[in-house]
Amino acid sequence: MNRPLRVLLADDHEVTRTGFISMLCGIEGFEVVGQARDGQEALDLCQQLQPDIAILDIRMPVLNGLGAARILKQRQPQLKVMIFTMDDSPDHLEAAIGAGAVGYLLKDASRAELIDALRRVAQGEEALNSSVSARLLRRMAERGAGGTTQVQALTARERQVLGLVASGFSNREIGEKLGIAPGTAKAHVERVIGKLGAADRTQAAVRGVALGLVAQPTGQWP
C-alpha cells in the first residue's frame, strides 16, 4: 500500500467505537480518520473526509446503516461500505448486499478477522460473515435465486474455483489451495463471474449452487 487505508466508523455506542479503534491500533496500513454517531453524521463525514472504507452499524439513530449505505453508494460509488453489527440474520445480510455493502462483519469478530475483512475489501473482494453467508446462500439457492440465465460452460478448473468461491475463500486462499498465484486465481474468479452472468462473487456462488455446479453449503464458510 502506498498510503494507509482511510477508515471511517459509524456507531452510536462510544464503547464500540473505542474498542474498534483499539483493535486497529498498531496495525500498519490502516488509519481511522473519522467517527460518526449516526447515519446522517456518517454521510456528512464521508463527504468531508473521503475515506476508502466506511464501516456502519445497522441500528443507529437519525438514519440507520442500511439507509446510509444506499446513499453512500449513490454519492460516492468508489467508497467501500462494510456493515459491522450484532445482527446475524440472513435477512439483514441480504439487505446489506442490496444496499451496496461489500462487507458484513459481526461485532464478536476477532481482531484477526477484522483485519482480514478490511484487507479483503480493500483488494476488491467481499468480506461476509461465514455462518450468516452460508445460511443466506442456501436460502437464495433454494428459492431459485440463480435464475434462468444461460451460462457458458465452465472448465474443470473453473468449477474448482467456483466451489472455493462458494465456500467463502479469498483469491489468496484459492491460490494457495490450488497451487497457483493470487493473480491467476483472481483471473479465474473473474472468468467464472463472467461466464455465469453474475454481478459479483456472491451472485456467482448463488447461481453455481442453484444450477448444481457446486454443492450446497451444509455448514459454515471458513
Asked if the structure places residue 76 within a domain, the reply is yes
Asked whether residue 73 falls in the same domain as residue 152, the answer is no
Asked if the structure places residue 141 within a domain, the reply is no
Residue 200's CATH number:
1.10.10.10
What CA–CA distance (Å, rounded) separates 196 from 153? Answer: 9
Asked whether residue 154 falls in the same domain as residue 86, the answer is no
How does pLDDT run across 35-89, given as a tens digit for each residue? 999 999 999 999 999 999 999 999 999 999 999 999 999 999 999 999 999 988 8
Asked if the structure places residue 192 within a domain, the reply is yes
Sequence-distant (≥ 6) Cβ neighbours of residue 4 within 8 angstroms: 28, 29, 30, 31
Mean pLDDT over the full length of the chain: 85
Asked whether residue 45 falls in the same domain as residue 154, the answer is no
Asked whether residue 114 falls in the same domain as residue 155, the answer is no
Asked whether residue 16 falls in the same domain as residue 111, the answer is yes
Asked if the structure places residue 59 within a domain, the reply is yes
The CA–CA distances, whole Å, from 1 to 115, 127, 220 equal 15, 19, 31
> Angle 90-98/130-142 helices, nearest 10 degrees?
80
For CA atoms 119, 121, 124, 128, the dihedral sign is: positive
- 117 phi, psi to nearest 5 deg: -65, -45
The angle subtended at Cα 35 by Cα 102 and Cα 106, nearest 5°, is: 40
How does pLDDT run across 202-219, given as a tens digit for each residue? 778 877 877 778 765 544
Of 93, 128, 163, the one marking the end of a domain is 128
Question: Quick one: average pLDDT of 110-138?
Answer: 83
Asked whether residue 113 falls in the same domain as residue 190, the answer is no
Q: Which domain holds residue 64?
A: 5-128
Which pLDDT score is estimated for 142? 67
Rounded to two decimals, the pTM is: 0.71
Asked whether residue 39 falls in the same domain as residue 93, the answer is yes
At residue 167, does pLDDT exceed 90?
no
- Total domains in the chain come to 2
What CA–CA distance (Å, rounded) separates 190 from 197? Answer: 11
Asked if the structure places residue 55 within a domain, the reply is yes
Which amino acid does the sequence have at 107? Answer: K
